[in-house]
Amino acid sequence: MTEYQSETPAAARRVAVPFADVHEMPLAHGPRGKMETQLVFGETFKVELEADGWCRGYCAHDGYPGWLHITHLAPAALAATHIVTAARSHAFAGPTIKTTLAQTYSFGSKVRVVEEGEKFAQLEDGSWIYRAHLTPRAELHADYVETAKKFLETPYYWGGRSGFGIDCSGLVQVCLSRAGIKSDRDTELQTGTLGKVADTAPDRGDFVFFPGHVGIMVDNKNIIHANAFHMKVAIEPLETVEERSNGITAVRRL
């Protein structure tokens, strides 16, 4: 593989597709190209070098390293003004649902609004998205449990962080980010860094860890989690998950 340095070390590029998978190695390396994490439209990937159509670098929001296909990236653009806060949202060719579908965005996508109509907002590419599915980037939503519920029935996807597919630690990271709280990407790190060990029984908002897995309590009995058992984001009794997962390893509370 021919490698060459980017013109600017760690050059910032933005994701220009609905979601972009970040791999351990380029897919040409076979099993070594396994999925690691994911970026959604408008998020930033810092490119350190390019090689045969692939970019090596790291995700700007958490420093997670990996390889991303060059066709998924575009040069850095003007700062986004809004974030998509629906699990998924369509953008249309015009300000009406009866026009051609232009794009589908995931929760967390960072977009730039250039005009606001009564029900739709026009994005910088000329497409129109439903205004109620957008929130100004500066506005946070502290209730990360309610944010997690938006992902119910979203397919489980190892390494996913989007409304198209998400994994357990990705769900935690994305929902906390919406609340303005930074989180590590992987379960193994989250179990030692999220808040503090709970000193009472699990309650709403607590993070419950199992061997290789994590979920968020929606009340004092039930947990929401992206899981490979149901292959989706689901709410079920904590007791059920505990039995299926060979016990709880930690309960953390912010």
CA separation for the pair 106, 225 (Å, rounded): 18
Q: Do domains 4-75 and 82-136 have the same CATH topology?
A: yes
Q: Look up the CATH architecture of domain 144-253.
A: Alpha-Beta Complex (3.90)
What is the reported pLDDT for 10?
79
CATH topology of domain 82-136: SH3 type barrels. (2.30.30)
Residues whose CB is less than 8 angstroms from the CB of residue 78 and which lie 6 or more positions away in sequence, other chains included? 112, 124
Residue 32 reports pLDDT greater than 90: no
The rounded percent of the chain whose pLDDT value lies above 70 is 94
Q: What is the CATH number of domain 4-75?
A: 2.30.30.40
What is the reported pLDDT for 36?
94
**Greater model confidence, 70 or 7:** 70
pLDDT tens readout for residues 97-134: 999 999 999 999 999 999 999 999 999 999 999 999 99
Three-state SS annotation for the chain: CCCEECCCCCEEEEECCCEEEEECCCHHHHHHHCEEEEEECCCEEEEEEEECCEEEEEECCCCCEEEEEHHHEEECCCCCCEEECCCEEEEECCCCCCCCEEEEEECCCEECEEEECCCEEEECCCCEEEHHHEEECCCCCCCHHHHHHCCCCCEECCCCEECCEECHHHHHHHHHHHCCCCCCCCHHHHHHHCCEECCCCCCCCCEEEECCEEEEECCCCEEEEEECCCCEEEEEEHHHHHHHCCCCCEEEEC
Residue ranges per structural domain of the chain:
4-75, 82-136, 144-253
pLDDT tens readout for residues 38-82: 999 999 999 999 998 999 999 999 999 999 999 999 998 889 999
CA separation for the pair 218, 207 (Å, rounded): 10
Report residue 1's pLDDT band, with 50, 70 and 90 as the boundaries.
very low
